[in-house]
Amino acid sequence: MSVEAVRRRVVRRRALEWVAGAAAVTAIAAVVPLIPGALGHPSGPPATGRRAPTVYVASLGRRAAGPGTVIPISTVTNRAGKPIPVGRNPFRIAITPDGKTVYVVNMVSGTVTPITTATNTPGTPIPVGRLPWAIAITPDGKTVYVVNRNSGTVTPITTATNTPGTPIPVGRRPYAIAITPDGSTAYVANYGSNTITPITTATNRPGTPIPVGRGPSAIAITPDGKTAYVADSGTFLYTGKGPDGVFVTPISTATNRPGRPIRVGDSPFAIAVTPDGKTAYVANLDSETVTPISTATNTPGKPINVAPGPDTGPLPIAITPDGKTAYVTQSTTITPISIATNRPGKRIRVGDSPFAIAITPDGTTAYVANVNSGTVTPINTATNTAGKPIKAGGGPIDLAITP
């Protein structure tokens, strides 16, 4: 194995360990490891009576464990607005379906900050559990669910009053959450327990844990709500046979039973489903590939190479609303994949460590948060060209776009 190959493997392992919570939380804002995930065409004026979408960017801050901000960016001008103060190390961000409120997970503070989008003013921080890590909002916008990694719980928040409910016990080191399209069930990936906990949202009661593979770290649910796909990333500890995470587990939401594991690449770490529900795309960090899975048969297709050369990756995936293109992040680039052919296009240069990506509702622009560059890069999806980077504070790590 070459020196460069060893260096890249070490970088990937460190990135995964950091994302999995192995690194000291207080050091996150100070040193963020290298992580694989013409002017960008803005969305343009909205339809009559509607506001143009706004990108909200969670920025860690420039000091270790210090206060962070949320940066609003206009999709019409691609200009950043006045930073909105939130808690320490804002790590995840979600927006209600009506676009009226942004909820920001402050990892070190153990709180969630609500932001009114009409005025961009933050509300009173909402206390949750220890090391809040992930967030999801029900389709009706009535409840926010926050995964507390170190507490082994999920905190429900009523959006009408912004009050937290009784914490819901789940498994060890819960990592990710996804909610079915009908809003009836939230599925929580318990990285430390190798299980998925289903939560009935009507009662906020957890169901029987569902066994999956090692280190579940991502969940995606098909648009019809029938199947949840879980990326079993492994424990990130290499053996003589390679990484110990190489599967995706399908779960029937009707029975909450796992299906036969689907073999993908090494360390599957992100997953996204096309709008028509026909294909799930899995980013395999250590294989530097993306595996398409036919949801009709749960069979994997030919791996798509997305990070040859010096780049490491991939991590996050985003799919355009028309279902034509999947965008996958690497360490300094984005690779577009044609969904019709499953072929990668020319890599798009962005900033250092693109940690998150989101696409405007009209599909014209993808916004990429470059955590180590302190910028957000807009990408014109019609031409796959990157626009001028937008300054977004110290460590933009997640973003979301209003409807």
Does 45 score more than 60 pLDDT?
no
Using CA atoms, how far apart are residues 370 and 352, in angstroms rounded to an integer?
6
Does 360 score more than 90 pLDDT?
yes
Listed range (45-59, 91-105, 173-187) with the worst mean pLDDT? 45-59
Domain, as residue range, for 90: 3-401
- The phi and psi torsions of 11 (rounded to 5 degrees) equal -60, -45
The pair of structure tokens assigned to 388 is 């001028």
Does 172 score more than 90 pLDDT?
yes
Segment 14-21 long-range contacts (CB within 8 Å, at least 24 positions apart) = 15/285, 15/312, 16/233, 16/236, 16/267, 16/269, 16/285, 17/236, 19/269, 20/175, 20/191, 20/215, 20/217, 20/236, 21/131, 21/133, 21/149, 21/173
Higher pLDDT pick, 223 / 32 = 223
pLDDT class of 242 with cuts at 50, 70, 90: low
DSSP state of 239: B
User: What mean pLDDT value characterizes the chain?
Assistant: 87
Query: What distances in angstroms separate CA 127 from CA 14, 50, 81, 108, one per listed residue?
Result: 30, 33, 27, 12
Q: Read off the pLDDT of each residue in 202-216 and give the average, rounded to a whole number.
A: 97
Does 237 score more than 90 pLDDT?
no
- Residue from 215, 222, 180 nearest 201 by CA: 180
pLDDT in tens, 386-398: 999 999 988 999 9
The CATH number linked to 241 is: 2.130.10.10
267 beta partners: none
Total number of domains constituting the chain: 1
Using CA atoms, how far apart are residues 272 and 235, in angstroms rounded to an integer?
21
Does 21 score more than 60 pLDDT?
no
pLDDT value, residue 310: 54
